[in-house]
A and B are shown apart, each in its own frame.
Chain A
Amino acid sequence: MTLSIEEVEHIAELAKLALTDEEKARYREQLSAILDYFNRLQAIDTDDIPPTATVLPLHTVLRDDVPHPGISREELLANTEHKENGMFRVEAILDESP
């Protein structure tokens, strides 16, 4: 199967990845080849097989409702220079759809 460039662009937008035209062409080829290979899965009968939700025999793992101090605001903001008034600063959103 071959993905179209539009499909590649759509996926890149869902994942918020800026791609050059060259990248789009390359990924289109590579992803198409990979997906082709994966189609062999369709041949396997999984009619009555449940999906693996988790490999562990675990369920209902819960935590008591007790508050604990976390990290300081300074520690939180230390890994970026884009901050103002104790908050993270981001550029204007403008009218594009997210």
Chain B
Amino acid sequence: MSDLTDLTIEEAHALLQRGEVSSVELTQAHLERIEAVDGLIRSYLTVTAGQALDQARAADARRAEGEDTPLLGVPLSYKDVLCTRGVQTTCGSRILEGYRPPYTATAIEKLEALGAVMLGKTNMDEFAMGSSTENSAYVVTRNPWDTERVPGGSSGGSAASVAARLAVASLGTDTGGSIRQPASLCGVVGLKPSYGRVSRYGLVAFASSLDQIGPLTRSVTDAALMLNAIAGHDPRDSTSMNVEVPDYTAALRADMQGLRVGVPREYFIEGMQPAVEAAVRAAIDQLAELGAEIREVSLPHTDAALPVYYLVAPAEASANLARFDGVRYGPRVVAGSMWETYRQTRGQGFGPEVKRRIMLGTYALSAGYYDAYYLKAQKVRTLIKQDFEQAFEQVDLIACPVSPTTAFRIGERIDDPLQMYLSDVLTLAVNLAGICGISIPCGFDENDLPIGLQLIGPAFGEEQVLRAAYAYEQSTDWHTRVPAL
């Protein structure tokens, strides 16, 4: 029997279906590997062993009754920014230490209804603000390919847990690249669905108009299976679209005949690591081999995406994080008077990056500055969105890099916030436009560090993105390589 922690969802389902393995065995195998390996990787903040085995038993019982769906009994990990009833949810922050939500996020509820098993909650940059997971107030997660390096962020724990085979798949979140970039740095598949495709109810908000929940998986098929499970309208989320959820696996085909792929010149930026550029260009050539028509496109306002993002997102975040005052939940630093208690609770409970962004956002919205900063940024955002709309009149997909570099060393960028922000430059615009994007493995650099290819599709165009990703994946073996752990 193959190693029980070396399976995709598809493969696990097949074994469960044939009765060759039980969910309890599958879950147990993962819990054991977490014990053995996660002391080094530190992808999990909370491991819910007891609950996981209970869920696994329940799944096995359902299967015995004749139920059989792809996620039934499959053990998953969830980024700690997603609320799980009764289970600690910290968002990587001390200000939520010990917090147990009284409800569960819709996306997780849907997975649980399908019988999926929760192994635990994964580490992340505090409140999803960061690109390396170094901003976690708890631990620094290590990249399974090189433990001196970052896994990327903010869904670093999720990406690492999948890459290190400590979960079959994971749910992460993406506000400016936080699924795609860590997926790229960890050599796994990461999908950011279109804004409104997946309910945000239960996702602790960072930037309300940009956040989306999405899967990190070992294969494109798995990403499609996860998207099938979590997508759909939610009456509790006024920004979720009432659009039918197709069977995303039906879109997967081994070729790219008839697909037009745009390559944006602005995305091959100066300072990009040569190996990254080479791998991505080779991947694009491969797409052509598979039958795609490659064209050059232009996204003229690409340069503006960074300042727009770093004004809009912190502005929304500054309000979203105002509820963290220690009054109703989270540790409170009592300091004499009520206002001083507020200041100390927040001042001590939030880490430096979060405080920096709250200040930036507060400034951008403050009297006298709103027009020049926030409003201006929202107008330029419209231009960025229009860039994509115009491009998608010419092509069905856009292909480009995910990150200008492969995984950098822990500690390398943490002292220069602006430098850290630049890691996101190739992923931000997708969130600003509300469209979908996937990162899939497309090679390795000279240090054996993974490189990701980004495929971007129009709003609710996940089918063609998944199709192209699948075709590419099946024509290479990048996705079969695993870190030597």
Residues of A in contact with B (beta carbons under 8 Å apart): 8, 11-12, 14-19, 23, 27, 30-31, 33-35, 37-38, 40-42, 44, 46, 49-52, 54-56, 58, 61, 63, 71, 75-76, 78-80, 82, 88, 90-94, 96, 98
Instruction: State which of B328, B334, B381, B417 has its C-beta within 8 Å of the C-beta of A88.
Output: B328
User: Given A38-B307, A40-B304, A90-B327, is A14 in contact with B382 using a C-beta cutoff of 8 Å?
Assistant: no
Whether, in the assembled complex, B341 has its beta carbon less than 8 Å from a beta carbon of chain A, the answer is: yes
Q: A38-B307, A79-B99 are in contact. List 16 more A-B contacts (CB 8 A).
A: A11-B363, A15-B359, A16-B339, A16-B346, A40-B307, A41-B380, A44-B304, A49-B380, A50-B379, A52-B382, A58-B238, A75-B102, A80-B329, A88-B327, A91-B341, A93-B338
B301 pairs with A44, CB closer than 8 A: yes
A50 and B358 contacting across the interface, CB-CB below 8 Å: no
Q: How far is the CA of A82 from the CA of B333 in the complex (A)?
A: 11
Contacts of B363 in A (CB 8 A): 11, 31, 35
Whether A16 lies near B342 (C-beta < 8 A) is yes
Once the chains bind, are A18 and B337 in contact (CB under 8 Å)? no
Q: From residue 314 to 348 of chain B, which have CB atoms closer than 8 A to chain A? A: 318, 322, 325-330, 332, 334, 336-344, 346-348
B332 / chain A contacts, CB cutoff of 8 Å: 80, 82
A71-B103, A75-B102, A93-B338 known; A55 vs B385 contact (CB < 8 Å):
yes
Task: How many A-B residue pairs have C-beta atoms within 8 angstroms? Tell me.
Answer: 161
CA gap between A17 and B434 in the complex, in Å = 32
Kindly state whether residue B100 has any CB partner on chain A within 8 Å. yes
Which of A16, A30, A33, A50 is the most central at the interface, judged by chain B CB atoms within 10 Å of its CB? A16
Instruction: Please state if A55 and B459 are interface contacts (CB–CB under 8 Å).
Output: yes
- Structural contact, B382 and A50, CB atoms closer than 8 A: yes
Minimum Cβ distance to chain B for residue A57 (Å): 8
Identify A34's interface contact among B98, B99, B310, B341, CB under 8 A.
B310
Known A38-B307, A55-B433, A58-B241; judge A91-B336 contact (CB<8 A). Answer: yes
Chain A residues, CB < 8 A from B432? 52
Query: Taking the nearest CB of chain A, how far is it from the CB of B328, in angstroms?
Result: 6
A15 near B362 (CB under 8 angstroms)? Answer: yes
Whole-angstrom CA separation of A18 from B308 in the bound complex = 27
A34 to B363, CA, bound (A): 12
Nearest Cβ on chain B to A17's Cβ, whole angstroms: 5
- Is residue B281 contacting chain A, with contact meaning CB distance below 8 A? no
Residue in B330, B336, B340, B376 whose CB lies within 8 Å of A41: B376
Interface 1/0 per residue, B93-128 and A, CB below 8 Å: 000001110110000000000000000000000000
Please tell me which one of the listed residues B99, B103, B327, B375 contacts residue A51 in the complex, with CB atoms under 8 A apart. Answer: B375
Q: Say how far A64's CB is from chain B's closest CB, in angstroms.
A: 10
Contacts of B326 in A (CB 8 A): 80
What are 24 pairs between A and B in contact, CB < 8 Å? A8-B359, A11-B359, A15-B318, A18-B346, A23-B355, A31-B360, A33-B418, A34-B310, A41-B304, A44-B301, A44-B383, A50-B382, A51-B375, A51-B382, A52-B381, A52-B382, A71-B102, A79-B328, A80-B328, A80-B330, A90-B338, A91-B334, A93-B338, A96-B339
Residues on A with C-beta less than 8 A from B330 are 79-80
A52 touches B385 (CB 8 A): yes
Question: In the complex, are the beta carbons of A55 and B195 less than 8 A apart?
Answer: yes
Instruction: List chain B residues, Cβ under 8 A from A38.
Output: 307, 310-311, 373
For A47, the closest partner residue in chain B by CB is: B379
Q: Select one of B310, B325, B376, B382 contacting A42, CB under 8 A.
A: B376
Beyond A17-B359, A34-B417, A91-B338, whether A46 also contacts B195 by CB under 8 A is no
Asked whether, in the complex, the Cβ of A11 is within 8 Å of the Cβ of B362, the reply is: yes
- Is B372 on the interface with A (CB-CB < 8 A)? yes
Determine if B311 and A51 form an interchain contact, defined as CB atoms under 8 angstroms apart. no
Q: Output the nearest chain B residue to A98 by Cβ-Cβ distance.
A: B339
B347 touching A18, Cβ below 8 Å? yes
Q: How far is the CA of A33 from the CA of B360 in the complex (A)?
A: 11
Q: Are A55 and B329 in contact (CB under 8 A)?
A: no
Given contacts A18-B343, A49-B382, contact A31 B338 (CB under 8 A): no
Question: Closest Cβ of chain A: how far from B303's Cβ, in Å?
Answer: 8
Give 4 nearest A-B pairs by CB, closest first: A55-B434, A18-B347, A51-B378, A79-B329
CB–CB A94/B338 < 8 A: yes
Q: What's the minimum C-beta distance from A31 to chain B, rounded to whole angstroms?
A: 6
The answer to the question of B437 belonging to the interface, with a C-beta cut-off of 8 Å to chain A, is no
A contact residues around B347 at 8 Å (CB): 17-19
Given A56-B196, A94-B338, A96-B339, CB of A30 within 8 Å of CB of B417: yes
Q: Hey, which chain A residues are within 8 Å of B48, CB to CB?
A: none
Which chain B residues lie closer than 8 Å to A18 at the CB level?
340, 343-344, 346-348
State the CA gap A26–B69 with chains docked (Å). Answer: 53
Min CB distance A67 to B, Å, is 15
CA distance A16 to B325 in the complex (A): 9
Q: How far is the CA of A1 from the CA of B339 in the complex (A)?
A: 31
Q: B209, B310, B338: which contacts A54 (Cβ < 8 A)? A: B209
Instruction: Name, among B100, B348, B355, the residue most crowded by chain A CB atoms within 10 Å (CB to CB).
Output: B355
- Most interface-central of A34, A37, A63 (chain B CB within 10 A): A34
A27 x B103 contact (CB < 8 A): no
0/1 interface trace, chain B 372-398, chain A, CB 8 Å (1 if under) = 110111111111010000000000000
